[in-house]
Structure 1
Amino acid sequence: MPVMSLTKTLKRASPIVALSLAVFGFAVPQVAKADTLADALVGAYTHSGLLEQNRALLRAADEDVAIAGSTLKPVLSWSADLTQNFGRTRAGGAGFSSSVDNLSATIGLIGQLLLFDFGASQYRIEAAKETVLATRGTLLDIEQIVLLRAVRAYMGVIEASEFVALRNNNLRLLTQELRAARDRFDVGEVTRTDVALAEAQLAQARSGLAGAEGDYLRAIEEYRNAVGRKPGRLSAPPRLPDVGVDVEGAKALAVRRHPLLAAAQHQVAAAELLIKAGEADMEPTVSLTGRYGLTENFGTPNYNRTGSVGLEFKQTIYGGGQLSAQVRKSMAQRDAQRSNLHVVTHDIRQDVGNAYASLASARAVLEASERQIRAARIAFRGVREEATLGARTTLDVLDAEQSLLDAESARVSARSNLYVAAYTVLSATGQLTAQDLKLPVQIYDPAAYYNLVKDSPAKRSRQGQKLDRVLRALQKQ
C-alpha cells in the first residue's frame, strides 16, 4: 500500500484501529522496514501513560466547570418517611384514657433555584474555565516532554549502537596489532614491553566494548519505555528541523505560544476571578423555593396536602471572619500566580537561549570532529606504516589508534547531540507537538469532552447518555 493511501486509511479509521495499523502493522501485509524517527514519535504519542494521566486530569478539570455551573440550575429533591405512632394518652382528671395506634406516610418535593448572588457563582464558573485552559496548556507541555524523550531515546539507540560498532572495530584492529607485535617480537624487532603494551590495550578495548554493549542495552530499555516497543532496525535520522538562527525572534515566539506560559496566564486569570467570587460571597443571595408535601394516615380518612412557593433572602452577617480570610487567601494565591508567571516567562526565554547554545555547540563539535577524524586517520596510517619500517614504536601505533577512536566517538556523540538540541529548540519554542510535527496520529481533542460536560447534562438526558458512551470507551482503552 502506498504511503499516502495508508495515511488516508489511518485518518478514516477509528482511533483504536488506526493505532493498531500505524504502530503494530496489524492486517497490513508489508515488507519489514526500518523504523524511522517519525515512527518512534508516533509510538510515544500513542503509548504514553503520562499523556493518558494528564488527559484524565484535564477531564477532571472539565467537570469542575460543570460542578460550578450546577449552582445556577434548579435543584429538585424529594424526601419520604413512614411513621408508626403507638401508646396511650390521658386527658383531665377523670381517668379517661385512649390508645394511639396509627401508621402515617409523608412524601415531600422541594425545588430551589438561585436567582441572584452578586455574580459569585458566575465568577466561579469563569475561574473553572480558566483552570481548564491552564490544564490544557500543561497537557501540551507534557506532550512536548513525551515527544522530546522519544527523540532522545531514538538518538540514544543509534548512538549506543554506533559506539558498539566502533568498539568492535577497535577490538579487531588491536587484535591485529597484538598479532603483529608478537610476530615482530619473535624475530627480535621489538621487546616484550611492546607486546605487553598491545595486550594491555586489547584488554582495555574488551572492557570498553563490554561497557558500550551495556550502554546499548540500557538505551534499548529507555526506547522501550519511551516509545512502547523494542527498537528494530533504526533508519538514519531525517534532515534536521529548520529552527533558524534568530535567537531573539525565537524567544519572542516562545513567549507568545509556549503552552506553559499560556497555562500560567490562565492561572492568574482564575485567581483574579476567585477574588471577585469571594467578595461577592459577602453580599445577600436571593433564591426561589417551592415545596409540596403529602401526608397520609392509614386506617383513617385523614390526610394533609400542602404546598408553598416563596423567595428566600439570605446573607451572612458574621461568620467568624471566614469570608474575609477567604478573600485574603485568594489575593495571596493571585500574587503567587503572578510571580509564577514572571518566573515561567524568564525560564522559557532562558530555555530557548540554552537550546540554541547547545545547538551551536553540537554543530561546532561535529565539524571539529570531522576534521579531527580525517587528520587522525592519516596519522594512524602513517604511524602504522612507519612502525613496520622500525621508525615508530608499538606505543605510537596504539596512541594513534586511540586518537582515531576518540575522534570517531566524538563525532557520534556530536551528531546525536545535534539532533536532540534541534528538537529541544522546537520544544523550548512550543512547537514540538504532534500537530506541529504533522504526525499521522489521531490528535487528542481537549475540547471534545469539555463540550459534552460543560452544561452539566443529566444522566438520563440525551447528552448524558452520549457522555456515558464516551466514558465507557475511555475505560476500555
Structure 2
Amino acid sequence: MNFRTICVSALALVVAAAPVSVQAESLREALTAAYNNNPNITSALLAVKSTAEGIVTAKAGRLPSIGAGLDLTHSFNNAVNGNFNSTDTATLGLSYNQTLFDNGKTDAAIEQARAMTEVSAQALRNAEQNVLLSVVQAYMGVIRDSQLVQLRSDNVKFLQAQVKSAQDRLDIGEGTKLDVSQAQTGLATGVASYQAAIANLQTSQASYERWVGHKPRNLTQDFSFKGMLPKSVEEAIAASDVYHPAILSAKAAIRAAQSGSDQARAAFGPTMNLIGKIGTTGTLNESAGNSTNVISGSVGLSLSIPLYSGGVLGASVRKANLGQMKSEFDAQVTRDQVREAVVTSWATLQNAVAQIDAAQQALNAASLALDATVQSRDVGQSTTLDVLNAQSQVTQARESLISATSSRVIASFALVSATGKLSAGDLKLPVKIKSADGYIATVEDVWQDLRAIAE
C-alpha cells in the first residue's frame, strides 16, 4: 500500500505542475487559435469555393463558344497516264457557337448553381459553429478534469491520514483491526478514482490539442457573453429560425431542387443555336505548279425540338419533382432538429444552474458533517467508517459542483450555437473572417478568361 501511495503522489505532482510553468490561455484565446488553425473550417471554405465554380459552368451555357482551328492535308494520286499528282492544303478558321434559346434551361441551371453555393456557404458557417463549440467542450473538459484530479488527489491524502490514524489508534489499543481494514479499503477506492481522473484528463487534453492546435496552457474559465444569451426559450427558437446555418442551408437546398425541376421541364422545349464559321483555305498543286487561296464563311441557325426520347425526359421531370418534395421535408426535419437542440440546450443550462446551487448547499452541509464526524470519532462516539462515509459525501458534493460549473458554461455556448450565433464575428474574436464571398464575386464575372488571355 505504501509503494502504491508513493507512486500516486509522484504522478499527482507531475500532472499538477505541468501547466503552471506556461503562460495562461483564456477561452477567447483558445477560440481564436482554433478559428485560425483548425482544418475543419479551412476544408469547408475550400468546399464553398469549389461549389462556386459550378456558377461559371452554368453561365457558360448562354455565352458564345469561340475557337480556332488549323488543318493541314497532303494528298497524292497516280493517274492512269502515269502522272503523279500531289496537293497540299492548309485550312485556318474560326468557329462560333452560341445558344440563343433553350426554354430557360440555362437560367435554371445558373440559379441551381447559386443555390448550391449558398448551401456550401451555410455548411461553412455550420462547421465554424461546430468547431467553436467543440473547443469550448474540450477547454472546459480540461478544466473540469484538472480540478477533479486535484480534488481526488486531496482525497487520497485525506484517506492516507485516516489509515495512519486508524493504525495509530490500534497500536495504542483504542482502535480495531476493522477500523484499519475499512480505512485501507477506502484508500484503495480513492486511489482507483484518482487514477481514473488522470485518464480522463489525458483524454480531455488530447481533445483540446485536436481542436485548438496545441496543448492546453493553464486554462481559466472566465468568459463574458455580453448579451448573447437569449432571455427565453421562445426568443431562442425565433432566433434559430432566422440565423441557424442548418435551417438556411435547408432553404437553399429547396431553391436548388426547384431549379432542378425547372431544368427538367425546360428540356421538353426547343433549343436554338447560332453557328458561324470563317476561314481561309490555301491549296498548292505541286504537279501543276499553281496555288489557290480561298476565304469562306457561313452563318446559320440550328433549331432542335425533342419529339421522343424513350421516356428519359419524363423520368427526369418526375425525379426532379420528387427531389423537390424531399428537400421540403428535409427542411422540416432540420427545423425540428434545431428547435429540439434549442430546447435541450435551454433546459440543460437551467438544470446546470440549479445543480450548482444544490451542489453548493450539499457541499456546505457535508463539510460541516465531516468536521463533526471527525471530532465525534476522536472521542469514540463515531467509527472510522462514519468518517469515510462523511468524506465521501464531501467529495461527491465537490465533484458535482465542478461538473455542474463546467456544464453551465458548455450549455451556454450550446444555446448560442443552437440559435445560430456562435461565430467568430458574433463572439468578436480578433480574427480575419473566413468567407468565400470575394471568390464567389470573382467567379460570377464570366469574362475573366478573356481578360486573362488579353493580359
TM-score normalized by structure 2? 0.91
Equivalence for 2:74: 84
What is the letter of the counterpart of residue 125 of structure 1?
Answer: I
Deviation at 1:456, TM superposition (A): 2.9
Partner of 1:461: 451
In structure 1, the partner of 2:306 is 316
Count of residues in correspondence between the two structures: 430
- The aligned counterpart of 1:402 is 392
Could you report, residue by residue, the CA deviation over 1:23-70 in whole angstroms, capped at 9, with x for unpaired residues? xxxxxxxx9741111011111111111111111110011111111011
CA positional deviation for 1:236: 2.9
SS at match of 1:436: coil
Give the conservation status (yes or no) of the 8 Å contact 1:457–1:463. no
Whether contact under 8 Å (2:31, 2:135) holds in the other structure is: yes
CA contact (8 A) 1:373 1:407 kept: yes
Residue number in structure 2 paired with 1:70: 60
2:147 is the alignment partner of 1:162: yes
CA contact (8 A) 1:163 1:412 kept: yes
- Give the gaps of 5 or more residues in structure 2: 1-20
Task: Pick from 369, 373, 385 the counterpart of residue 379 of structure 1.
Answer: 369
- Paired amino acid for 2:199: G
Q: Does 1:349 align with 2:339?
A: yes
Deviations 1:314-338 (A, max 9, x none): 2222222222221111111101101
1:215 maps to which residue?
200
Alignment counterpart, residue 151 of structure 1, candidates 123, 130, 136: 136
Letter in 1 for 2:72: L
Equivalent residue number for residue 422 of structure 1: 412
Residue 444 (structure 1) aligns with? 434
> Secondary structure of the residue that 2:135 maps to in structure 1?
helix
Matched, 1:248 2:234: yes
Deviation readout 1:94-142 (Å, 9 max, x if unpaired): xx34323233222231011221222211111111111111221121111
What is the Cα deviation at residue 239 of structure 1? 4.1
Alpha-carbon contact 2:125-2:245 (below 8 Å) kept: yes
CA distance in 2, matches of 1:100, 1:344: 77
**Residues 1:191 and 2:162 aligned together:** no
Q: Secondary structure at the match of 2:407?
A: helix
Per-residue CA deviations over 1:193-247 (Å, capped at 9, x if unaligned) read: 1111111211222221111111111111100001111111112332466424411
Separation (CA, whole Å) in 2 of partners of 1:410 and 1:463: 68
Instruction: Say which of 43, 46, 65 aligns to 1:56.
Output: 46
Separation of aligned partners in 2, 1:260 and 1:308: 53
Q: Structure 1 174/240 Cα, relative in aligned 2: closer, same or farther at 3 Å?
A: farther
Question: Letter of the aligned partner of 2:275 in structure 1?
Answer: T
Q: Provide Cα deviations, 1:395-417, integer angstroms capped at 9, x if missing partner.
A: 11111111111110011111111
Measure the CA separation in 1 of the matches of 2:366 and 2:418. 37
SS of the residue 2:382 aligns to: coil
Q: Distance in 2 between matches of 1:464 and 1:338?
A: 46
- Match runs of 1:3-402 below 5 Å: 33-90=23-80, 96-239=81-224, 242=227, 243-298=229-284, 299=286, 300-402=290-392
Aligned residues of 2:22 and 2:217 also touching (Cα < 8 A): no
Name the CA distance, whole Å, in 2 between partners of 1:463 and 1:53: 30
Please tell me whether the aligned partners of residues 67 and 456 of structure 1 are also in contact (alpha carbons under 8 angstroms): no
Q: CA distance change for structure 1 residues 289 and 273 in 2, over 3 Å: closer, same or farther?
A: same
Find the aligned partners of 2:225 and 2:277 in 1 and give their Cα distance: 71
TM-score (norm 1): 0.87
Please tell me whether the aligned partners of residues 140 and 221 of structure 2 are also in contact (alpha carbons under 8 angstroms).
Answer: no
| Identity between Structure 1 and Structure 2 (%) | 30
